[in-house]
Structure formats: structure tokens, C-alpha cells
Structure 1
Amino acid sequence: MMQHGQSRAVIENVYPELNGGKHSIKRVVGQSVTVEADIIADGHDVVAAMLKYRSKTAKKWQHEPMKPANNGKWQATFVVQQQGFYEYTIEAWIDHALTWQHGTVRKIDDGQKVTSELLEGVLYLDKIVPFCTEEEEGYANYVKQLFTDETRYHEAILHVKSENLHNLFLKYPTKDFATTYPPLHVYVDRLKALYSTWYEFFPRSAAQEPGKHGTFEDCIKLLPRVAEMGFDVLYFPPIHPIGEVNRKGKNNATTAQPDDVGSPWGIGSALGGHKSIHPQLGTLEDFLKLVEAAKQQGIEIAMDLALQCAPDHPYVKEHPQWFKWRPDGTVQYAENPPKKYQDILPIFFETPDWQNLWNELLSIVLYWAEKGIAIFRVDNPHTKPFRFWEWLIAEVKKQYPDVLFLAEAFTGPAIMNQLGKLGFTQSYTYYTWRIHKHEIMEYMNELSQTVSREYFRPNFWPNTPDINPYMMQTGNEAVFFIRLFMAATLSSSYGLYGPVFEFIDYEAVPGKEEYHDSEKYELKHWDWNRKTRLTYLITILNKIRRHNPALQDFTNIQFCPVENNHLLAYYKTTPDKQNQLLMVVNLDPFHRQWGMVRLPFEAMGAHPGEKITMSDLISGNSYVWSSEYNYVELSPELPFHLFRIQRNLW
């Protein structure tokens, strides 16, 4: 931070700032950015500071004065109003005019004569007059006359102490030798980057008739059902031609039978690659018809972006240098020892032909974005180079700023965080394995209260086609209720591997978190006309999420004391406190649990003893709480409350 040698203000510990400004923090349109910093200077002079911000498309800076907050940090806030990049910085300086006013007031209060000091004040007023409005200039000239007229001394010192003069100096600061912090950046997305509700199914399993391969036309018929449940994103596993060489059979068998459909993630065959449609699903025109029909229902189609190839993908023959070849002349298939994926070839990113490779992979995303796809669920991004993703996402955003990327990266936290910093909009999380009260609280506090909240947006999935969690392998409906409820209320974005979850299809491979008879390797037939208790609960929860903006953020959570380790209580509110919610959930799917819950009165601006109406938005019951601690009891049949809090202020 190069500054003038006479710059006395020091700016340190700026927040939010990622890796010295290397990466951008994230927001969605309409959100605020609160910036704070340590700002100091030598001596006793008055320090002033200003937060400056602007959209990258704007030429002029906008300003917000910074003020010391309760924690001793200087603080100011601005609101982002449009998509794209913003930049912000802090400017700090010694404010000589305010220093003069502060010192002169103290002398006046001490009974000292300040005739000379009044003449100094004239000099400070002279500096700001050229910037004043006509009315302000008239006031400044009037005060200058008082300061130079000894016969009106007592009137003059009243103006030295006046708020009008103080505000004038605040409005037009003289920023000699100011210190300026290097610019920092915000990337602003559309709202769905923060708040989204996902439903996943395999389009090939959408047919109404058992044993029949589903089509996009079948998917269109299911859109009203998905919309009725309140989902706004419909995610499909890959919809491209599936490789025939080394195709996997049912239950991941290494030898496929003639009628086996294979894994959709084994992409590419003689029928085409990543820019082609599996012919049994339909044509490109059929797919675009589906995309438009979904849009009419308020649903976006999310495509799977799996940058890998089946052995018979056209790329293998056309660009063999993009794959790794063994000394015996065979191509290297994907492995994660001891697991082997003979039907999938990883891309060799260290190829000398890497630039052509990168451009081709970018062209895949741009191709589908041009067709109207604005959400991509990216398969295993942590197995591809970080710099590649940073480049690809930036290039896509230049042309299609609405495009969102969900990272399906179940790996170490440092890698998941890095992907978030590099531009991934959302990420899968460890929620799938956070079961106990202390685990959930620690994880949510990490996501919502640490610096990761500035760049890592969680998307909670209770299950996926790859993960059948041990806790759900009993088929206990209460477990599904609990995991659904917490996913939908802890995180602002969540998703379900839909029919498997909704219909409690829980059979697992013994000793593994994998589905037996996995849909990844075979057609499934679902009774799409069937509605379960989970179907109704999903519908209710998604409606509540839509009408309660406190649930459309994940950074606003506060856990509440409750005297039972099987009960979890948490509070969410909007910044204006117009929508306040309390969630209480029984983590025990087998037994009734009870305990005493304390509301966060301090955050609510309330106090114990005040009558507060607690309206359960799920059951429809209402209660009046007036004690500091209040009793709750929850059974496995309905293991949660979702209260809307209403203070009775009359």
C-alpha cells in the first residue's frame, strides 16, 4: 500500500478481504456489504474515514462515511444493486477541520479565550466554501463574519460548538495526505445464487410404463408435479449418449448385459459427446421444448457438467493427446483406489495441448448456455485444475452473467473453499454426515459466522445418487422428516435426490453408503401419481421458505439454548426484523423429547416477560410465550416446530 510520506492514517485488518484482495467476496442483488477496519493515526488529531464503492461499469465512486462501531472497528455499509463486479476501498485521513473544532470546543468548555482559534476556523471554512450549496455558502460566510468580529465573540463560540458547523465539515472533508487501501472486489449474482430449491431425477426413469425408457416428453408431464411441490430447479444427471465400451451393468457390474443402459456419467459414444443428446431421451428440439416448458412453470433446468469421457467418446479418437496412455498402449481409465471406473476416462489436463483442450471444454458450457441453460451442477470439480475453473467460470460469466455453478465436491475443506473462492456459486457440503447436535451447530457456525460466509454458499442435500447415508438406511420415516426439515431451514439452498427420498427407497449395499440396485446403472419405474407424507411435507416447507425471507439466507442463523442434547433450536431473522422465525427439531427419530428453550431476546430487541405469540407454520397451532425459558415437546411423528415470532407490543 504505497502512500504519500506525510500520510498519517493507517488502515489495517479490513474485513471482508480474501487473500489480500486476490479473490472476490460474493453477494446477490439487493444485499448489503458491511466493511470494517482498524483505522489509527499518531497523536490526538481527529481521524476520519470513508468507504468508497462503485460498480465496475460506473466511473464515479459513491461514498459512505465510516464510524467507529461497538467493537472498536470503523464500519460502513453499502448495498449492491446490480449483477457483476463491484469494487470498494477505504480512504482515511487526519481531519484538520474537525481536529480544530474538537480542540477549540474543549478550550471553550475550559473557559479559555479562543480569539486566535476563531481565525483558524475561517481558514478551514474558506477551503470548503467552493464545494457548498448556495444555502451552505451563505451559512459559512455568516459564520466567518462572526469569527472575525470580536464584538460578537459569544455568538461566535456558540457556532463553534454547533452541529451545523460540524456537519458541514463532515460533508466536505479536507483530505490532505489521505491513505487509500487497495481496491477490493465483490461479485454480485442473481438471487438464485443464494436461495434455490432443487429436485433431481433421472429423465430416463420418467416414463409412466414400467421398463420403458423415459423421454423429455415424459419429463414435461412431470413438471406440474415438481412445481406443485415448490421446487425452482430441476437437475438432471447427464443427458448425453452413453458409452458402449466397458459399459457398466446393474449394481456397477463390470460386464453389462445387452439391455443394460449404463451410467449417464460414462459420457460419449459413436452417437456423440457432450454437445449431443441421448437419442432415447429425444432430440435437441425436444430438450429445448422441455427447458421452455419448465420456465413456464417457474423452474430452471440444471445440467450436469461432467468433464470426463467414455472410452468411445469422439474426443478419444479425435484428440488422443487429451488422455493418458499407459506404456502398454492402453488408455488410463478413472480410478480412486480401490474403486475402478472402467467406463470413464479422466481428461489429462497436463497435456501439451492444454490450450486447445481448455477452449473445447469452455465451448461445451457456452453451447448449452446459448441454448438457455443457466445452471450447471459440476461433477467432481476438485479433480480438475483450479486455474482451469477460475478461467472457465470467468469466461462464461463475461457472456452469460446469469449462469450459476454448483460444485459437487465432497473433499477436504481447503479444496472446497478454494473452489468457492475461484467462482463456484454454490457447493455440496458435509451436511449429509452431520448428525449430532454439536456437529450441526459447529458446522453451521463455520459456514455462517466465519469468513467462509463471504465466498462459500452451501447447498444441503440429505442424499444423492452416490450417497445413501447410514442414518437413512433403516427406512425410518422420522429420519427423512428430520433431515429434510433441517436441510430446508438451516441452508437457504437445498436439494433432494427426489423420488428415492420422497418414496423412502432406502435399500443399501451392505456396509456401504450406496444404494442397492442403484438408479445410476438401471432404469427405475416410479409411481409419479403417488403422494407420501414426505411429499406433503416437502410442499409445505417449500411454500414456507418462499413466503419467509428469513429462510432465504444462511448467514443469519443463531442457535438458542435448549436443555436437551436431542433438541436443536435456532433462530433466523431478516435485517429489518420483520420476519423472525424459531425452529426446534427433535434429532431423536425413535423417542419423544422435551426441554426448555430460550428465545434470543437480545437479537429480537425484546426482553423476558414480554408476551410473544409463537405460530407454528406447519401444524397451525399458536402459543403465547412470556417466560425466559419455554417448554417444548416433540415426537418422532412430527419432530419439529417452525414458529413465526410475533411480538405483542400493544
Structure 2
Amino acid sequence: MTGRFPIEDVTPAVECGRYPAKAVAGEIVPVAATAYREGHAALGCNVVWWGPDGDPHPFTRMRPGEAGHDRWHATITPDAAGSWTFAVEAFHDPYLTWRDAISKKLDAGQGLEDVAADLVEGQQILQAALATAPTQVHSRLEGAAAGLADTHIPLFARVSPALAVADVLWRYPVRELVTRSAEYPIWVDRPRALFSAWYEFFPRSEGVAVPAPGEPAEHGTFATATARLPDVAAMGFDVLYLPPIHPIGRINRKGKNNALVAEPDDVGSPWAIGSAEGGHDAIHPDLGTEADFRDFIAAAREVGLEVAMDLALQTAPDHPWATKHPEWFTHRPDGSIAYAENPPKKYQDIYPLNFDNDPDGIRAEVLRIVLHWVSLGIRAFRVDNPHTKPLDFWHWLIGEVKRAEPDVLFLAEAFTRPAVMHGLGKIGFTQSYTYFTWRTTAAELRAYCEELVESADHMRPNFWPNTPDILHETLQHGGPPMFKIRAVLASMLSPSWGMYAGYELFEHEARPGAEEYLDNEKFQLRPRNWAGQEAAGQSLSGFIGQLNAIRRDNPALHWLRNLRFHDIDNDALLCWSKRDPATGNTVLVVCSLDSANVQWGNTTLDMPALGMDWQDRFTVRDELTGASYDWGQRNAIRLDPYLVPAHIFTVHHPGEV
């Protein structure tokens, strides 16, 4: 402990301030601390905070929380990207101490002779307040001080004006014995770091005709894939994620469905990076040139899409690094380079890097590569399996990139142990894939999401119902209603979500005995008949567009910390809400988890979480159907998965809809 008053357990603080907490520009960030003092005198607390330019921001007074717990709370709202800092200050508050004491004496019936010294003390405190309060409130303070000194009026009239300036002296307190905590960092990103909708497709499968049976598929290019961009944008996505676009190795190339021996026309896995054509800084020649890629990025930007690239730090056996830098790999006793394994899985077409043999060399090369793509217009990277690389490497790399380009985002594809996932968030990853895909019951989803809200200072979730690697059994067997259900859950629970192409076409055929797609696009071209299936009513694109439009139009859905669950008496239903404190916008969702049966339930809503008193009635408007209902705390719900498996309500006071 240092200073006059103890200040403990300051939040947000990641590992006691070792790493910056996370926020985005415009986010309301809760700050809290435990502070206390001896005796009965009043303690005050406030937040002081500084932006990236080092300039201090307005003094923010903290309010006490639950009585007797000495926990203090405030919020701050950073308004620009960059490195921010805050500290908590505790101080003796002479005005509140005086106000409490004289109020108790007057309430006890004590007269002028008992409070004469208090009247003088009050005048002194009000005079001291004039030194720091703005001139526009001086008249109130001067009038209150004059009242205390006026011996010609009754005691209560003398004291009342001084008691009535509590609001002024809350905003502009007299502070004595000020004690400041340590300073804590916050890294503030651009808003897309928290609120985003991602769509993944393979350019090599896009923009080309579906081949006739028995005919080979045509390899797509950046130019042909450009034709798909307006449709992705029309579904409301704002980030388009591309798997690796680099040359693909030929040595040990995998065939269709991960076959060990490739046929001559097999295209291989994009994650087996590198060949004679180049490595991580090169573009696969069948996709086009660097100029074509720039044109693709520009075309995406024109329709409102930001292109995100894959950063996969591994190589094919014929990557240039394998001959130029053999020290960057692990060698077997026979001298050969070890390929990647995750027993019982084997990746004979991939060499993992060894970051310990020449860490300086690898770091310099990877930083060069990332900044190369940044120079071409990339501001977001999806990072492949970051949990298989040293965390100190990522901490260094992300820090170096952000020093040069503060608005670059990093999404961690880390389906691994919780401590490692959280560790990656702490050391700098902007967002993370999560366990959402495997949380399928109401209890699992509620518990997991509440855990993520508690971790919001360091880990931002991105919910994906599917990926090229993952086709969960709920989608394999749940039919089209389950595709709607999982999309509602992903898009409404998390401010960031994403889906892999084919989800909107209900693709659900799995490789027997596996949780992955049959005819996996990782190993082959999969051109799709987008227009034909949509015309035949076999597409979810319109529904996905509705979800993303609802997300865009409702600020409550842009945040994570505001997620609140409500009780409902049917375990097949999940009920939650989000409320934006700045605008009052409130969204209330009830979603079925059963894709086969109609489900009924009765809500018991946490009314204050909706901005209501317990007895209030209000109007809800279903943003999916347009229907409106009169609701209160307890309401009956019926959801039919074959019609609309969820209600997505905006909450209004009566007469607002």
C-alpha cells in the first residue's frame, strides 16, 4: 500500500496491468475499485484518464456500489483508437463529511449552540470550492456560504442552501489527501474490433460455373470472385475472410477428402503454403497477380466489405524457407524436417516452424510479411492455430504491428484449452473463435456467454456456427430450422459473428464418422449454384440479411458487456436481452433450441435490465415478422422452428411503435 488511502482491485486490469485491457472507440468502459478509510469521514473517488495524445480527459467521479462493500464505480468512453491510460484517485471529501455530520445533528434536534462551529466549517469548505469550481456555479456557492453566515435568519434557512449544493460539489469536489493508484493501460481499437460480421469464402471456388457431372471444376480467380462480392455485402457482412491465397506446395500434396495421394488435377490445401512460385509474401498464380488482388480489395471496399487475410505460419515441404532457412524447422534424428502432427491426425503436406532455433530471424521475416500485406490494404488477419506458436512471439508481433499500424486487427483461430485462449486475448489478439459451436443447450450457452462477459476486458468472442474444418452434428442432423437457430444465436449473442460459405445453402453432408464436411473445400474446388438455389427457395441468404440488418440498426447489439439473460420455464428456449445505455435501444430475444418441435414457455423478465420498473407494461416489436405485442414481466411464448424459431424484439414504451 502506498498513499493515504488504500485503493485495491482496480478494474479493468489485465494481469494487474501487465497487459492493456481492451475497448473500442465509443465503448462505455466500466471502471471499478475498492477504496476505504478509517473512521466515519467521507471518502470520495474519481477516475483520471489520458488519451493517446497524453492529454487528460474530464474528471470522472465514481459512485459507491452496494452499501458496506467499499466498491466504487464509474464509466469512461474512449473516443479514439490507440493507447489509453487511467488511474483511480481516493480523497478526503470535506463537504460530504460536513454535510453528513450537520444533517445528523439537526435531525437529532440540536440547536445553534451545538452547530456553531459546523456553520463556520461549512463556510470555509464552500470558499475552498470556489477555487476549483467553474465560474457559472460560483453564485450558488457564494449564496450558500452567505446563508451560513447570516445570523438574522432561522437555523434551518441558514443551512438549507449549503445542503442544496450537493450536486455542484459532487461534480466539483473539494479534494484533500488525494491518493492515486497505479496507472493502468487500455488499448482502444476501431469499432470493428468488437462489432463485425465475417463471411469466409475460397476465391478459387467463386465466380465460375458449376461443372457438369464428371467434368472438372474451373479454378476461380480474384477477377471471377469479384462477382460474388455484391451478394456477400447484400447479406450484411462487413468483413470478407479469405483462406491463404499463397502458392500451394506440391510435395506431399493432399488429394480430395484429405487423401494422402493427390491426383494430377487436385489443387491441394491452401494451408500447405509455399512452392517454387513463392511463399507467404506471394500470390498463387492461378488466383491472379498482386494488381488483381489490389483490384479485388478495392471492389470489396466499394460494396462495404473489408478483406481479411489468413496468417498461417507453417509451410509446405517445398516452401522457399525449407531450403533457405532449414534452421527454422524441427529436424528428426535422420536429419529430415518433421511434418505437422496432432495425433492421430497427420499433416504430411505441412512443416511447422520451430520458433526457438532462430527467434530473431523468424520474427523479422514474419513482421516483414505482415507489413507487406498491410501495405496492400489488409487491416485484418485471421490467424491460423496461434496456440501452437509461442505466446511471447505473438505479444511481440502484434505490438510491433500496432506500433506501425494501430488499426490492424487479429482474430485468433484457437480452439484450445481455456487458459491458452484467454492468454492469447491478454497478450494482444483482437478477437477469438470460441467454444460456441459446441454449446448447444440453454444452460451451456448461458453459462458460457456469462463467462465471456466477465472476460470482456481481455477477450472478445467471434461466434461461428461452422468453419471449413467444423460441421457440428446439430447442423448435420437438425435440418434447415437448425441453420436458422444457430445463426440467430451467433449473431444476437455476440457482437461479432461469422459463417463459412455454404451455410446459407444448408450444406450438411459430413465425412462419415467426422465433424467435418464431405468433399471438403480445403482440398478441392466447390463452385456453387448460388442464384439457382436461391431462386428455388433453397437459400438462407434473405434470413441472414435480416439478422445482419437488425444488428446494424440496433446499437444494443454492438456491445458485449450488456448481455443479460432472463428466466424462462422451458429448457428448450433461451431468453436474453441487450440494452444500449447511450440511446436506450433495447433488444430482447427468445430463441428455440429445438429444430423439430413447437416449444412453449413463460418468461420471468429482469425488468430493470430492460430499463423498466417491475410493474411496467411495454410494447415489443418482432423485427423478423413485424408483429407487435403488449408485454410485461411474465409472458407466454410459442415458437415453431419451421416458421420462425426465434423472436427478436425491439422494446418500446407504449405508443412508441
1:140-170 deviations in whole A, cap 9, x for unaligned?
Answer: 6777677678x55857981486146656655
Contact 1:322 1:357 in 2 (8 A): yes
Taking the aligned partners of 2:137 and 2:243, their CA distance within structure 1 comes to: 65
Structure 1 residue corresponding to 2:244, chosen from 238, 249, 252: 238
Matched, 1:401 2:406: yes
Shift of 1:338: 1.3
Matched, 1:485 2:479: no
Contact 2:471 2:508 in 1 (8 A): yes
Shift of 1:98: 4.1
Corresponding residue for 2:39? 43
Corresponding residue for 1:433? 438
**Taking structure 1 as reference, are residues 288 and 94 closer, same or farther at Cα in structure 2, changes over 3 Å only?**
same
Contact 1:406 1:424 in 2 (8 A): yes
1:250 maps to amino acid: K
Taking the aligned partners of 2:124 and 2:162, their CA distance within structure 1 comes to: 18
1:259-281 deviations in whole A, cap 9, x for unaligned?
Answer: 11110000011100111000000
Contact 1:550 1:579 in 2 (8 A): yes
Taking the aligned partners of 1:564 and 1:165, their CA distance within structure 2 comes to: 52
Contact 2:619 2:652 in 1 (8 A): yes
Corresponding residue for 2:336? 330
Shift of 1:593: 1.6
Shift of 1:622: 2.8
Taking the aligned partners of 2:645 and 2:170, their CA distance within structure 1 comes to: 55
Corresponding residue for 1:113? 114
Contact 1:609 1:628 in 2 (8 A): no
Matched, 1:382 2:378: no
Contact 1:21 1:185 in 2 (8 A): yes
Contact 1:492 1:552 in 2 (8 A): yes
**Taking structure 1 as reference, are residues 540 and 132 closer, same or farther at Cα in structure 2, changes over 3 Å only?**
closer
Matched, 1:320 2:320: no
1:270-297 deviations in whole A, cap 9, x for unaligned?
Answer: 1001110000000000000000010000
Q: TM-score, normalised by structure 2?
A: 0.92
**Taking structure 1 as reference, are residues 203 and 122 closer, same or farther at Cα in structure 2, changes over 3 Å only?**
same
Taking the aligned partners of 1:143 and 1:641, their CA distance within structure 2 comes to: 55
Matched, 1:468 2:477: no
**Taking structure 1 as reference, are residues 202 and 173 closer, same or farther at Cα in structure 2, changes over 3 Å only?**
same
Shift of 1:218: 0.8
Shift of 1:389: 0.8
Corresponding residue for 1:92? 90
Corresponding residue for 2:417? 412
1:120-144 deviations in whole A, cap 9, x for unaligned?
Answer: 4555456455445567667767776
Corresponding residue for 1:206? 206
Taking the aligned partners of 1:547 and 1:621, their CA distance within structure 2 comes to: 18
Structure 1 residue corresponding to 2:520, chosen from 496, 518, 521: 518
**Taking structure 1 as reference, are residues 335 and 631 closer, same or farther at Cα in structure 2, changes over 3 Å only?**
closer
Unaligned stretches of 5+ residues in structure 1: none
Q: Which sits farther off after the overlay, 220-229 or 575-584?
A: 575-584
Taking the aligned partners of 1:578 and 1:136, their CA distance within structure 2 comes to: 30
Q: Which sits farther off after the overlay, 164-173 or 292-301?
A: 164-173
Structure 1 residue corresponding to 2:280, chosen from 256, 265, 274: 274
Shift of 1:403: 0.9
Corresponding residue for 1:34? 30
SS in 2 for 1:453: coil
Taking the aligned partners of 1:61 and 1:624, their CA distance within structure 2 comes to: 43
Contact 2:328 2:353 in 1 (8 A): yes
SS in 2 for 1:571: strand
**Taking structure 1 as reference, are residues 118 and 385 closer, same or farther at Cα in structure 2, changes over 3 Å only?**
same
Q: Which sits farther off after the overlay, 44-53 or 268-277?
A: 44-53
Structure 2 residue corresponding to 1:79, chosen from 58, 77, 80: 77
**Taking structure 1 as reference, are residues 141 and 301 closer, same or farther at Cα in structure 2, changes over 3 Å only?**
closer
1:197 maps to amino acid: A
1:40-64 deviations in whole A, cap 9, x for unaligned?
Answer: 1111112122211111312335311
1:45 maps to amino acid: A
SS in 1 for 2:550: helix
SS in 1 for 2:403: helix
1:75-119 deviations in whole A, cap 9, x for unaligned?
Answer: 222211111121111111223454345434544552243444444
1:568 maps to amino acid: L
Contact 2:207 2:226 in 1 (8 A): no
Q: Which sits farther off after the overlay, 481-490 or 552-561?
A: 552-561
Shift of 1:397: 1.0
Taking the aligned partners of 1:581 and 1:264, their CA distance within structure 2 comes to: 40
Taking the aligned partners of 2:442 and 2:228, their CA distance within structure 1 comes to: 37
Taking the aligned partners of 1:568 and 1:407, their CA distance within structure 2 comes to: 28
Contact 2:608 2:614 in 1 (8 A): no
Aligned residues: 641
1:336-359 deviations in whole A, cap 9, x for unaligned?
Answer: 1111111111111111x2112111
**Taking structure 1 as reference, are residues 311 and 123 closer, same or farther at Cα in structure 2, changes over 3 Å only?**
same
Q: TM-score, normalised by structure 1?
A: 0.93
Shift of 1:200: 0.9
Contact 1:207 1:213 in 2 (8 A): no
**Taking structure 1 as reference, are residues 564 and 187 closer, same or farther at Cα in structure 2, changes over 3 Å only?**
same
**Taking structure 1 as reference, are residues 163 and 468 closer, same or farther at Cα in structure 2, changes over 3 Å only?**
same
Q: Which sits farther off after the overlay, 287-296 or 475-484?
A: 475-484
2:429 maps to amino acid: F
Structure 1 segment 111-190 matched on structure 2, within 5 A: 111=111, 112-121=113-122, 123-124=124-125, 127-131=128-132, 152=152, 154=154, 158-159=158-159, 162-163=162-163, 166=166, 170=170, 173-190=173-190
Contact 1:48 1:94 in 2 (8 A): yes
Taking the aligned partners of 1:147 and 1:473, their CA distance within structure 2 comes to: 78
Matched, 1:56 2:56: no
Shift of 1:222: 0.9
Identical amino acids, percent of aligned pairs: 43
Corresponding residue for 2:214? none
Taking the aligned partners of 2:466 and 2:391, their CA distance within structure 1 comes to: 26
1:586-629 deviations in whole A, cap 9, x for unaligned?
Answer: 21112222222333323234457754333222123333335723
Shift of 1:428: 0.5
Matched, 1:494 2:497: yes
**Taking structure 1 as reference, are residues 287 and 135 closer, same or farther at Cα in structure 2, changes over 3 Å only?**
closer
SS in 2 for 1:378: strand
Q: Which sits farther off after the overlay, 558-567 or 437-446?
A: 558-567
**Taking structure 1 as reference, are residues 475 and 15 closer, same or farther at Cα in structure 2, changes over 3 Å only?**
closer
1:559-589 deviations in whole A, cap 9, x for unaligned?
Answer: 2222222122222222256322222222111
Structure 2 residue corresponding to 1:506, chosen from 487, 505, 508: 508
1:471 maps to amino acid: T
Taking the aligned partners of 1:509 and 1:139, their CA distance within structure 2 comes to: 77
**Taking structure 1 as reference, are residues 475 and 122 closer, same or farther at Cα in structure 2, changes over 3 Å only?**
closer
Taking the aligned partners of 2:132 and 2:405, their CA distance within structure 1 comes to: 42
Corresponding residue for 1:361? 366
**Taking structure 1 as reference, are residues 163 and 221 closer, same or farther at Cα in structure 2, changes over 3 Å only?**
same
Taking the aligned partners of 1:105 and 1:436, their CA distance within structure 2 comes to: 55
Corresponding residue for 1:348? 354
Contact 2:281 2:372 in 1 (8 A): yes
Q: Which sits farther off after the overlay, 58-67 or 47-56?
A: 58-67
Matched, 1:67 2:63: yes
Contact 1:230 1:543 in 2 (8 A): yes
Taking the aligned partners of 1:145 and 1:488, their CA distance within structure 2 comes to: 60
**Taking structure 1 as reference, are residues 178 and 398 closer, same or farther at Cα in structure 2, changes over 3 Å only?**
same
Unaligned stretches of 5+ residues in structure 2: 212-216
SS in 2 for 1:387: helix
